[in-house]
Amino acid sequence: MVNITSKVLKNTLIYFVYVIIILFVLYVFEKIFLNGNIDYILPTRIPKPLSRLLLLLSVLIGSIILVLANSKINISQLNDKYILVTLFITATLLSLPLIFFSEIMPNSDFLTYYLIAKNLLNGKIFIPNYIAVFPHTIAFPTFLSFVFHLFGPSILSAQLTGIVLSSLSVVFVYLIGQEVSKRQYGFMAALIWTLMLSRIFYSILICTENLFNAIALLAALIFLKTMNNTLPIKNKYLNFVLIGVLFAILNSIRPNGIIVFIAFIVFYLLFFEYESDRENVFFLFKIHLKKGLIVKSFFVLTVFIAYFLISFSINLAIESKIKQQIATPRIGWNMYVGLNVSSHGQWNKKDSELFSKLIKEKGPQQVQKTFFELGIKRLQDIIKDKKMKRFILDKVITMWHADHESYDYAAGAQPKNSRAKLKFSRNNKAAKLIFDTYYYIVLFTSLLELIMLTIKRGGLKPVILIGCFIILGTILLHIPFEVALRYKNHALLWFCFISANRIVTISEKITISSKLNVNN
């Protein structure tokens, strides 16, 4: 554990992280606009280079529209309750039509979650061997089973729960932005996240993303409020315990919760500084210690104790439910699929069939060990064939080149003979292009913000730096493990914070310039 005290070193680290994310976004744009990785959904009636140019122009125009919209929206006269209610209702209303007019039924992983929750409600365990291999698959259904207990085990109640959780994430984005900066910043970040089409579609798919994002943002909000130096020390203790609990729950919902957890711990240890010269840490004994590593280590220890106790308890509860031990190592299957060169590290039918075969032959305890060994063999082959660099870059662009997978899920979840008023076709390139264009707008405005922060030495901006840690952690985590467009959803909301900062900054400059011109 290293305590960085040098301001120069801290700033160097900050800008180093910014530069990495800048290079990453530039790489994504190079693949999109120069190499044509998105050509498969572009119009076929005009040449591909021209289509890419038009897409780029659409991104630029969309970015300008967001800036102008922010200039016209003035929330200074509105109270917070009105803003929060408006954001929540807006986010909800954007999702509701998809439920009532599209007839989207759960399938794939989403059907699995629904069936596990339904069986839990009836005191039964659905696919216990599968849960033993992938214990996170029971966390969200457990939450959903409580909802079913109150409102009944219908698909509608599950979808409405997703909408409520997704709308709550919008509210939390606003509160976080307000906490670290100004209300306008929080509002713009929340608005960008509200309009994110993948957020809207995932809200009705009975998936883990909605609960995961809501809890992650709640933990982030509590963390940032705990950083307030005016907060009584006793409250800080309780908040750090609560943060540890929330991160343990987060990690039980999706394993990549560990990325968010590490991001906040790294930020706290390396970049947060107490304003006071002395901090009353052991308040029960009235012992005063100076700020720094000792104080931070004590609080981090508090978080870790809470985190590991809750994680241990969750694992015991799962093993008690499924009446068998959780399989170890947990990363076997995910690594095996993630190192499949031919599928670009994505789920594929061949690997899935092998999984179904081996889990029947060897059982959950042995199947993860087997896949871990097979994964190591695949890794050795990649190294031997000198394909590592190419494979890593290929996986990164596979996961980050677009954001329309939620549309594909929705299209695949509609019955073939559906009489729904809203029908989604997997072949609807225009719809997917709208999803991806908005995604590129958020990436582009985020890119501008990070470039300006680096050039102008903008200094420490907690939410942006934490967001960069989460984005970077997500990129690194999926280098050896399975990738999918969906797996970056939790990172996209942090791009919304980065994007909003650039939009608000440009809008303010336009407003000031306009006032000066009027006065002159």
Query: pLDDT of 248-276, one tens digit each?
Result: 999 999 999 999 999 999 999 888 876 54
Apex CA 446: angle with CA 498 and CA 202, to 5°? 75
Non-local (6+) Cβ contacts of 231 within 8 A are 225, 239
Taking a C-beta distance cutoff of 8 angstroms, is the pair 351, 359 a contact? no
Residue 283 pLDDT > 80, yes or no? no
Helices (H) and strands (E) in the chain, counts: 21, 2
Please report the DSSP string for 411-477 in residue order: HHTS-TT---SS---TT-HHHHHHHHHHHHHHHHHHHHHHHHHHHTT----HHHHHHHHHHHHHHHH
Burial grade of 495 (CB within 10 A; 0-12, 13-18, 19 or more): buried
Q: Is the residue at 456 inside a domain?
A: yes
Residue 8 pLDDT > 90, yes or no? no
Span 187-197, average pLDDT: 97
- Residue 64: its pLDDT value, please? 96
SS3 105: coil
- Tokens standing for residue 389: 């660099």
Q: How many domains does the chain have?
A: 1
Taking a C-beta distance cutoff of 8 angstroms, is the pair 336, 261 a contact? no
Q: Give the mean pLDDT of the chain.
A: 90
Residue 70 pLDDT > 70, yes or no? yes
Strands 287-290 and 278-282: antiparallel
Q: Is the residue at 404 inside a domain?
A: yes
- Residue 282: its pLDDT value, please? 40
Cα-based distances in Å from 262 to 41, 244, 300: 36, 11, 11
- pLDDT tier at 130, thresholds 50, 70, 90: very high
pTM for the model stands at: 0.93
Taking a C-beta distance cutoff of 8 angstroms, is the pair 240, 299 a contact? yes
In the chain, % of residues over pLDDT 70? 93
pLDDT digits (tens, 9 = 90+) for 391-448: 999 999 999 999 999 999 998 888 887 777 888 887 889 999 999 999 999 999 999 9
Q: Is the residue at 335 inside a domain?
A: no
Q: Is the residue at 347 inside a domain?
A: no
Residue 249 or 278, more confident: 249
Q: Is the residue at 18 inside a domain?
A: yes
For residue 455, the enclosing domain spans: 1-273+287-326+386-519
Span 347-363, average pLDDT: 92
Q: Is the residue at 49 inside a domain?
A: yes
Dist CA 223 CA 106 (whole Å): 35
Q: Is the residue at 376 inside a domain?
A: no
Closest CA to 290 of 1, 3, 2: 3
* Helix 462-477 and helix 7-29, axial crossing angle in degrees, nearest 10: 60
Span 29-40, average pLDDT: 95
Dist CA 283 CA 233 (whole Å): 7
Partners of 282 in beta bridges: 287
- pLDDT tier at 520, thresholds 50, 70, 90: low
- Residue 278: its pLDDT value, please? 40
Closest CA to 42 of 411, 434, 488: 434
Span 452-462, average pLDDT: 84
pLDDT digits (tens, 9 = 90+) for 286-302: 334 445 667 788 888 99
- Nearest-10 Cα torsion for 274, 276, 282, 287: 140
Which stretches of 30-154 are DSSP H helices?
48-72, 80-102, 108-121, 128-133, 139-151
Q: Which residue has the tokens 């029971």?
A: 138
Non-local (6+) Cβ contacts of 493 within 8 A are 169, 173, 193, 196, 199, 213, 217
Dist CA 511 CA 72 (whole Å): 10
- Residue 6: its pLDDT value, please? 65
Dist CA 17 CA 81 (whole Å): 36
Closest CA to 499 of 460, 436, 447, 438: 447
What's CA 173's distance to the chain center, in Å?
12
- Residue 336: its pLDDT value, please? 95
Q: Is the residue at 377 inside a domain?
A: no
Taking a C-beta distance cutoff of 8 angstroms, is the pair 263, 466 a contact? yes
Neighbours of 446 (CB within 10 A): 28
- Residue 518: its pLDDT value, please? 63
- Residue 150: its pLDDT value, please? 94
Non-local (6+) Cβ contacts of 239 within 8 A are 222, 223, 225, 226, 231
Span 321-350, average pLDDT: 93
Residue 513 or 361, more confident: 361
Dist CA 462 CA 458 (whole Å): 12
